[in-house]
């Protein structure tokens, strides 16, 4: 009987020791598990209602992640809402910064060589976000008489005139004085321009109704397709049905179809406003 009790006691000691070793191994293993740390975003601080983060998203202050200071990753990244991509000027500071952050519009290698101010002792920009946030806020080229803006599109991110060798084509020159604005999904150009305090210029739709022009303003996801509809030129939204070619840009071969009041629930229009 005593031998049996002794054997049972030893068995329990062995089981307890085994459990302790297993839990220690699990604890040690868990300590070695590493999770990538989320980066804390930088944001603009100028706006009363909106802000833009350095990921290229725009949101209101209440939507900002309280821990990482990032906007929710919904809506358009690098949005150019209310911007004339040709003149690189916007009617909103936050969307100016968002639009400017697009790698295709602002070359990192180029802006990091620019001086923040004219004096030779001035430093250079440390990041594209620094350039966009500063350039959209302070731009002497959008000011007239030193105390008034040229127009409502006074938040501009274009490079200083002496640092860019870009030229405007004759076709683009015909858009001089026109604010080319990308509308929201399902919105007509009449509505787009009216929301900016302007009117749609019907005869300028003919200029915009060309793939090479459309692709300067919209991503087009590599496709620019002929279509029929009063909502062209336009871009099909990403969540449209597959048969509508999501992400593709559309132009019409029937010029008589061009219209300021046309719209489609699955497209965003490219609109000439003045």
Query: For residues 205 and 105, what is the distance between their CA atoms, to the nearest angstrom?
Result: 23
221 CB-contact burial (10 Å; exposed 0-12 / middle 13-18 / buried 19+)? middle
| Strand 89-90 to 179-182 pairing | unpaired
Strand partners of residue 149? 143
| CB atoms near residue 60 (< 10 Å) | 13
Please report the pLDDT score of residue 27 as a whole number: 44
| For residue 190, pLDDT beyond 90 | yes
3-state secondary structure of 251: strand
> Tell me: the pLDDT tens digits for 223-256?
899 998 899 999 999 999 999 999 999 999 888 8
Give residue for tokens 């150019």.
80
| CB atoms near residue 123 (< 10 Å) | 8
| CB atoms near residue 211 (< 10 Å) | 16
Please report the pLDDT score of residue 69 as a whole number: 92
- Highest mean pLDDT of the ranges 129-133, 138-142, 159-163: 129-133
Please report the pLDDT score of residue 96 as a whole number: 93
Query: For residues 32 and 51, what is the distance between their CA atoms, to the nearest angstrom?
Result: 38
The percent of residues in the chain predicted with pLDDT above 90, rounded, is 40
> Tell me: the pLDDT tens digits for 73-127?
988 899 988 887 777 888 889 999 999 999 888 889 888 888 887 676 778 899 9
- Mean pLDDT of all residues in 129-142: 78
| Crossing angle between the packed helical segments 128-137 and 93-100, to the nearest 10 degrees | 150
Read off the pLDDT band of 9 (50, 70, 90).
low
Please report the pLDDT score of residue 72 as a whole number: 94
Please report the pLDDT score of residue 170 as a whole number: 60
Contacts of 47 (CB under 8 A, 6+ apart): 93, 94
Please report the pLDDT score of residue 187 as a whole number: 96
| Strand 249-252 to 224-227 pairing | parallel
Distances (CA, A) of 109 to 131, 134, 140: 12, 17, 23
Q: What are the boundaries of each domain within the chain? A: 38-166, 168-274
| For residue 260, pLDDT beyond 90 | yes
> Tell me: the pLDDT tens digits for 29-75?
444 445 556 789 999 986 778 999 999 999 998 999 999 999 999 88
Arithmetic mean of pLDDT over the chain: 80
Query: For residues 254 and 258, what is the distance between their CA atoms, to the nearest angstrom?
Result: 8
Please report the pLDDT score of residue 172 as a whole number: 66
SS3 content of the chain, % helix, strand, coil (to 5): 35, 15, 50
3-state secondary structure of 137: helix
């Amino acid at each position: 009987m005593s031998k049996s009790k002794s054997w049972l006691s030893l068995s329990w000691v062995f089981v307890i020791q085994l459990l302790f070793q297993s839990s220690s191994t699990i604890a040690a293993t868990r300590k070695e598990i590493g999770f990538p740390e989320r980066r804390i975003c930088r944001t603009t601080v100028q706006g009363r209602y909106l802000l833009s983060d350095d990921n290229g998203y725009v949101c209101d202050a209440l939507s900002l992640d309280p821990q990482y200071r990032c906007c929710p990753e919904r809506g358009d990244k690098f949005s150019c809402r209310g911007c004339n991509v040709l003149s690189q000027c916007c009617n909103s500071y936050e969307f100016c910064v968002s639009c400017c952050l697009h790698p295709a519009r602002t070359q990192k290698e180029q802006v990091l060589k620019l001086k923040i101010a004219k004096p030779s002792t001035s430093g250079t920009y440390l990041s594209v976000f620094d350039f966009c946030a500063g350039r959209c806020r302070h731009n002497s080229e959008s000011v007239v008489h030193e105390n008034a803006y040229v127009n409502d599109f006074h938040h501009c991110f274009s490079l200083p005139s002496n640092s860019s060798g870009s030229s405007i084509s004759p076709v683009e020159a015909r858009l001089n004085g026109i604010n080319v604005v990308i509308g929201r999904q399902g919105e007509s150009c009449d509505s787009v321009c009216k929301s900016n305090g302007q009117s749609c210029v019907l005869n300028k739709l003919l200029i915009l109704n060309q793939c090479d022009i459309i692709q300067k303003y919209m991503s087009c996801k590599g496709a620019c397709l002929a279509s029929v509809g009063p909502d062209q030129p336009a871009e099909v939204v990403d969540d449209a049905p597959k048969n509508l070619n999501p992400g593709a840009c559309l132009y019409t071969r029937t010029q008589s179809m061009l219209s300021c009041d046309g719209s489609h629930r699955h497209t965003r229009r490219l609109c000439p406003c003045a």
